[in-house]
Amino acid sequence: MSRFPARAVVDLGAVRANARTLGDLAPTAQLMAVVKADAYGHGLLPVARAAVEGGATWLGVAQVSEALALRAGGVTARVLTWLYAPGAPLAEAVAADVDLSVAAPWALREVADAARAAGHAARIHVKVDTGLGRNGLTPDDLPAVVDEALRLEAQGVVRLVGIWSHLAFADEPGHPSLHAQGDLLRAAAADAEARGARFEVRHIAASASTLTDPELHLDLVRPGIALYGLTPVPQLGGPERFGLVPAMTVEAELANVKRLPAGHGVSYGHHYVTPRDTVLGVVPLGYADGVPRHASGQDGAPGAPLGVGGRRLAIAGRVCMDQVMVDLGPGATERAGDRVVLFGTGADGGPTAQGWADAAGTISYEIVTRLGARVPRVYVDGGREVPASGAERVAEGVA
């Protein structure tokens, strides 16, 4: 058992239930659970397995290394990877039966070389930039790449299984660009089919459109943040509005508790000054652990929320590298070692990742994803602790 005085408790039962909820919301589409960036900080392999148990038939990752880590961990679901630069280990990915996105003409050439080196056909999804202005082929470049892919398909080098895109304004449901982008993808797919393509899946929806717009579900949906029980559209209400449960709780043990007189400055620069005799608590997590420095309490405004003994308090003063302070109040009975919740399910009014995002001027994605590597992840399922055997197995495989 780790002696680190804080941890992220990840509820795999919540991940499984969220996957089921998302599958029910998009009954005509296949479910791709997006587990890039170490499953948004929750832990790649345990989350991937729970998502598959919850009905995901696909897993989505940005980097090729993430796709290979899934295979090294024994995950057999379909995997799509979509972000790489020239020289990426694509032959390894093809050999590991990973689907590859093709977002540029050079990428198709490299995938074809990789497939020849691996000795079997590469499954590809052509990515179309329908308006986001990020990765993907412009609609102008698409026909030539589709024709070349079909030529390679006839030679048995690739299989053109998917066509896909990503939305610019998904977090603004009803924005006119959403259906315009959806229509462009449908038209691009129809044009490619007229040239001879036979797609298995057309896909454009991430969490926001999975939750709010069935017209964009197409053949497959790609939710990430919703799988973790957080919402990309907090303006519509909390995760419970969609039947989602936040999977991560970050908690710490108080490293010190002591009395301070009125008028005492707290933390670097004394941006908080005790308004009365009080009890100060020291929480052993800081910006090295992903606590945003923008969540400091300063200029009279409280910092990000903290739950202590059923009370809702806030960060007092500056966030430091390894610690933050909390004014526990004059009547506090806490002692060193008592539990502080930074964020969790929000049940009983407790603090949430969304509350942290609001305090730091960011989105909940960044709060969970930037949780530091130093913070141990502990897995629970149905209230019981489970070993993170997946992570260990990968570490052993690498050693």
Amino acid letter, 128: V
Identified binder of ligand PLP from the candidate list 46, 54, 73, 224, rule CB under 6 A:
224
User: Strand pairing partners for 281?
Assistant: 257, 326
202 interacts with ligand PLP by CB under 6 A? no
SS3 per residue for 98-154: CEEEECCHHHHHHHHHHHHHHCCCEEEEEEECCCCCCCCECCCCHHHHHHHHHHHHH
| Beta carbons within 8 Å of 287's beta carbon, 6+ residues apart | 293, 319, 320, 321
**What tokens does 295 get?**
């969540």
**Smaller CB distance to ligand PLP: residue 83 or 386?**
83
What minimum distance in Å lies between the beta carbon of 42 and ligand PLP? Answer: 12
C-alpha 321/C-alpha 324 separation (Å) is 8
What single string gives the DSSP state of each residue in 178-228?
A: HHHHHHHHHHHHHHHHHTT---SEEEEE-HHHHHH-GGG-TTEE--SGGGG
Q: Which residues contact 204 (CB under 8 A, 6 or more apart)?
A: 130, 164, 165, 166, 167, 181, 182, 185, 216, 218
Q: Is 222 annotated as a binding residue?
A: no
Site pattern 141..170 for ligand PLP (x: CB under 6 A): -------------------------x----
Give the residue from 6, 5, 9, 7 showing the smallest Cα distance to 248: 9
Which listed range, 147-155, 186-194, 221-229, 329-337, lies at the site for ligand PLP (CB under 6 A)? 221-229
Establish if 182 lies at the interface with ligand PLP (CB under 6 A): no
Whole-angstrom Cα distance, residue 385 to residue 22? 25
Residue 38 parent element (H or E) = helix 36-40
**268 has catalytic annotation:** yes
Say if residues 352 and 341 touch (Cβ distance below 8 Å). Answer: no
**CB-based closest residue to ligand PLP:** 224
Print the binding letters for residues 67-86 with ligand PLP: x by CB under 6 A, - otherwise. Answer: ---------------x----
Q: Which stretch binds ligand PLP (CB under 6 A): 70-78, 89-97, 225-233, 284-292?
A: 225-233
321 is in an annotated binding site: yes
CB of 355 to ligand PLP, least distance (A): 19
Give the active site residue among 36, 40, 127, 228: 36
Closer of 226 and 342 to ligand PLP (Cβ): 226
Report in angstroms how near the CB of residue 206 gets to ligand PLP at its nearest: 3
Describe the crossing of helices 389-398 and 64-72 by its angle, rounded to 10 degrees. Answer: 100
DSSP label of 297: B
CA atoms of 348 and 126, how far apart (whole Å): 46
- DSSP string for residues in 53-90: HTT--EEEEEEHHHHHHHHHTT--SEEEEEE--TT--H
267 vs 364, beta carbon nearer ligand PLP? 364
In the residue annotation, 127 being an active-site residue is answered as no
Asked if 225 interacts with ligand PLP (CB under 6 A), we say: yes
Site for ligand PLP in 35-64 (CB under 6 A): 36
Cβ proximity to ligand PLP: between 66 and 251 the closer is: 66
- Give the number of residues in contact with ligand PLP, rule: CB under 6 A: 12
Q: Which of 223, 286, 303, 307 lies at the binding interface for ligand PLP (CB under 6 A)?
A: 223
Among 34, 100, 107, 320, binds ligand PLP (CB under 6 A): 34
Which listed residue (78, 202, 222, 271) binds ligand PLP by CB under 6 A?
222
Instruction: Please report, in range form, the residues annotated as the binding site.
Output: 134, 321
- Tell me the catalytic residues: 36, 268
Instruction: Please report, in range form, the residues annotated as the binding site for substrate.
Output: 134, 321
* Residue ranges in contact with ligand PLP by CB under 6 A: 34, 36, 82, 166, 206-207, 222-226, 232
